[in-house]
Amino acid sequence: MSTQTANATAHESMFEAVLARLDVAAKLMNMSEDVATILRSPIKQVKVSLPVMMDNGKIQVFEGYRIVHSTVLGPSKGGIRYAMDVNQDEVMALAAWMSFKCAVANLPYGGAKGGIKCDPRAMSVGELERMTRAYATSMKDVFGVNKDIPAPDMGTSGREMAWILDEFNKVTGEDSPGVITGKPIVIGGSLGRDAATGRGVMVNTLAALKKMNLNPKEITAAVQGFGNVGSHAARLLAEQGIKIVAIGDHTATFYNEKGIDIKEALEYAAKNGRVLKGFKGGTEIKSNEILTCKCDVLVPAALQNVITEEIAHGIQAKLIVEGANGPTMPEADAVLNDKKIIVVPDILANSGGVTVSYFEWVQNKAGYYWSENEVNTKHDEKMELAFSSVWHNASHYKTSMRIAAYITALQKIEQGVQLKGNY
């Protein structure tokens, strides 16, 4: 793989970081400038103020967003995140990534993202419910089963999806479970959705190891993040015989060269407020040390922008599989490429979640539900296909997997724009 990368300058704006990579891919594949121009601006940006009655009897106003980046390939799709750093620029970047992610996974969707600037860990269930319902009502004209379909992301889960569905149903006066995915099973969720993003990470890791002629049974991995993505990824990788030597979340990080018992870690977290603090299955290390620890595979599955240029210099893994969205800064890409570290980029590596969201939507539309095995088999097939097309483009265009993933997506979106005559 060559060392073509996005601009090696510091990117303050996440959306600019997306555009920098888009430019590199567009140039390499010789994409129409008009299409690039269209993709540089999201098609819809909604910002709302949500007054919420807090438990102390006072009103707090929360900032909420929904940004639709593209609807060229179908209705827009993407999660809703609750975090303190949610802002317009971040949501724009995440929305664009959804357009590319859905195109890479070959799903009939465009991309969108939403979010509320809040600290969900500091809020009561009642406060969260009132805020979520206020957000759903304010987005009643944005969301739609064939229009814009939200899902969980950082800080949200099936619980919030159920509230949003309920609110949307009240407003529309009908039951449309397909307007949102990642729902609890009894109200129209799909089996396999909860573990899907982690499962996609596992399938992509195995596919990459195969190309690298490495045997999973002789491989060690470090997984940063022990939430929905990281915990399932660690469990599924361990089930494939990969030795997990490091895990961590926002409360604590552990290393154990003999391997961490992931079942034990999962049980520990389940009993201790879903966090790892106090876990005894390894030596506690500093949170950032997980990125540079001795391991073959690194799975950043927590936050964005954790792999800086400096960290990239210290990374010992030969393979990085991005469970989180945007964990690697553009300036780190160059370093990783120079070190010949293979990076399975976020828009491919974590597309398992939206893939099973698509299956959920299909099941909701059909009113007929599949077995978990059927979901997993179809998911694995789609992931393997997506991996192969990106791998193929990486060697065809002599570029990194990241730029190749953008190319894979942009080829489809470009065709869509040209066929629809969207300009």
Euclidean distance between CA atoms 115 and 93, whole angstroms: 12
Joined tokens for residue 342: 């293979």
27 is an active site residue: no
Euclidean distance between CA atoms 177 and 193, whole angstroms: 15
Q: In what order do the strands lie in the sheet with 243-248?
A: 283-285, 253-255, 243-248, 220-224, 297-300, 319-321, 342-344
389 binding ligand GLU? (CB under 6 A): no
Count of residues in the chain: 423
Q: DSSP letters along 318-364, please?
A: SEEE--SSS-B-HHHHHHHHHTT-EEE-HHHHTTHHHHHHHHHHHHH
233 binding ligand GLU? (CB under 6 A): no
- Span interacting with ligand GLU, options 8-16, 76-84, 159-167, 411-419, rule CB under 6 A: 76-84
324 binding ligand GLU? (CB under 6 A): no
120 binding ligand GLU? (CB under 6 A): no
Query: Which residues, at least 6 apart from 311, have a Cβ–Cβ distance to it below 8 Å?
Result: 288, 291, 292, 332
Question: In this chain, which of 77, 199, 379, 402 binds ligand GLU, going by CB under 6 A?
Answer: 77
Q: Least distance to ligand GLU from the beta carbon of 79, Å? A: 3
Q: Least distance to ligand GLU from the beta carbon of 104, Å? A: 11
106 binding ligand GLU? (CB under 6 A): no
Residue 347-366 contact track with ligand GLU, rule CB under 6 A, x = bound: ---x--xx--x---------
- Span interacting with ligand GLU, options 43-51, 75-83, 124-132, 170-178, rule CB under 6 A: 75-83
Q: Least distance to ligand GLU from the beta carbon of 43, Å? A: 17
Q: Taking Cα atoms as reference points, which of 63, 68, 262 lies closest to residue 147?
A: 68
78 binding ligand GLU? (CB under 6 A): yes
232 binding ligand GLU? (CB under 6 A): no
Q: DSSP letters along 92-136, please?
A: HHHHHHHHHHHHHTT-S-EEEEEEEES-GGGS-HHHHHHHHHHHH
190 binding ligand GLU? (CB under 6 A): no
Compare residues 50 and 151 and give the one whose CB is closer to ligand GLU. Answer: 151
Which one is catalytic: 44, 58, 77, 113? 113
For ligand GLU, the binding residues (CB under 6 A) are 77-79, 101, 151, 153, 181-182, 325, 350, 353-354, 357
Indicate which residues carry an active-site annotation.
Answer: 113
